[in-house]
Amino acid sequence: MCYNRIIFLILIFQLCLFSACTSNHAEELYPTNDTEAKLYYETTLKPVIDTKCISCHVYHTEGANRYDSYEKTKSNISQMLERINATTNIVMPPADQEQLSTEEKNSFKTFLNILQSDSPQDDNPIKVNWTAYKYPDFDNRAGVSGTFDSVISYNLNDSAVNLIDLLNGANVLIDASSVNVGNETERTQNVASFFNAFTSQISGIVDNYNEENAWITFSMNGISQQVVLDVILESNKIILNGKIPDLNVFNWENAYNVFNTICGEYHENKLWEDVKISIEISNI
């Protein structure tokens, strides 16, 4: 009896020690980029975990297999990805539970990518700025501007001799949930709710270009539309300016309604369909 009790106490001690190490290890693994990672967790990953994972994992012992907070998910994201992508009986969710969609699986990988990225904007040669408009009176409508902080992938013409030829075959894929309107966390989260209901990714492909214009096909919400942007050439930078004239083309109605429900009072229940965009491409 005494021997069994000692073994039991040793096991409890080991479990507590493992849990403490798991929690502390998160900061050592991913010491930077918490701001963007927390935003992505709250707006995109946490809803997936709450829907597909937490019903089982909230009952686990504190530590390795409990994913009910940002810190615990951050500590265990590598293990979570391993099990999500497993082909053996350790795969999660189990076969008899509702499965993750491809997009939901990708959200775990995107979260890890953000954690591992020291400074996405500084190292990325492509920056996308946008301005959307609110209020019912067109003459008095106000612009709200922001950026996207996470570029999933991009391709520029590395063999370009002239600056403009960086656009030859250029394309970019943006994580739409990385939308950012500056230091206003609540406003950023509200705008992120729009993109969560609208599109997970935005892609842009350069179809044609000259020193005055670039013809770019944007894809959102499973729909593609070509837009013509003005070209400005600086010493080591290309700036593409213009607008997407009508978001209705991309079937934005559902996301519009979601956004109205959350913060319609702040924009008098009116968003305009056109969005001004500016894309900066640096020759690095």
Q: What's the pLDDT tens digit per position in 124-166?
A: 799 999 999 999 999 999 999 999 988 888 889 989 999 999 9
In tens, the pLDDT along 83-118 reads: 888 877 777 777 777 888 888 888 888 888 888 775
pLDDT of residue 23: 42
Question: How far is the C-alpha of 154 from the C-alpha of 276, rounded, in Å?
Answer: 21
| CA separation for the pair 178, 201 (Å, rounded) | 10
Q: What is the mean pLDDT of the chain?
A: 82
Q: What is the pLDDT of residue 113?
A: 81
pLDDT at 284 (0 to 100): 67
| Token couple for 217 | 């096909």
| Mean pLDDT value across residues 188-204 | 91
- Determine the Cα angle at 42 with ends 116 and 264, to 5°: 135
* Cβ(132)–Cβ(247) below 8 Å: no
pLDDT at 6 over 90: no
Contact 126, 172 (CB under 8 A): yes
Domains, the chain, ordered by start: 2-116 (no CATH), 125-282 (2.40.128.110)
Q: What is the rounded CA–CA span in Å between residue 50 and residue 52? A: 6
Question: How much of the chain exceeds pLDDT 70, in percent?
Answer: 80
pLDDT of residue 39: 73
Q: For the residues 236-252, what does the mean pLDDT come to?
A: 96
pLDDT at 48: 86
Q: How large is the average pLDDT for residues 200-229?
A: 95
The band of 9, judged by pLDDT with boundaries at 50, 70 and 90, is: very low
pLDDT of 254 higher than 60: yes
Question: How confident is the model at residue 17, as a pLDDT?
Answer: 40
Give the Cβ contact number of residue 146 at 10 Å.
19
What percent of the chain lies above the pLDDT cut of 90?
Answer: 44
Question: Angle CA(122)–CA(128)–CA(131) in degrees, nearest 5?
Answer: 130
On the question of pLDDT at 5 being above 70, the answer is no
Tell whether the model's pLDDT for residue 14 goes beyond 70.
Answer: no
Whether the bond into 93 is cis, omega within 30 of 0? yes
The amino acid present at 262, given as its one-letter code, is I
User: Which residues have a Cβ under 8 Å from the Cβ of 173 and sit 6 or more positions away?
Assistant: 151, 152, 153, 154, 201, 202, 203
The C-alpha atoms of residue 191 and residue 137 are separated, in whole angstroms, by 21
17-52 per-position pLDDT tens digit: 434 444 444 455 555 566 678 777 887 888 888 887
Residue range 264-269: average pLDDT?
A: 90
Q: What is the DSSP letter of 41?
A: I
Q: Which residues pair with 279 in a beta bridge?
A: 128, 240
Say what the pLDDT of residue 24 is. Answer: 43
Q: Would you state the pLDDT for residue 15?
A: 39
Reported confidence tier of residue 70, pLDDT bands at 50, 70, 90: confident
- Strand, coil or helix: what is 16? helix
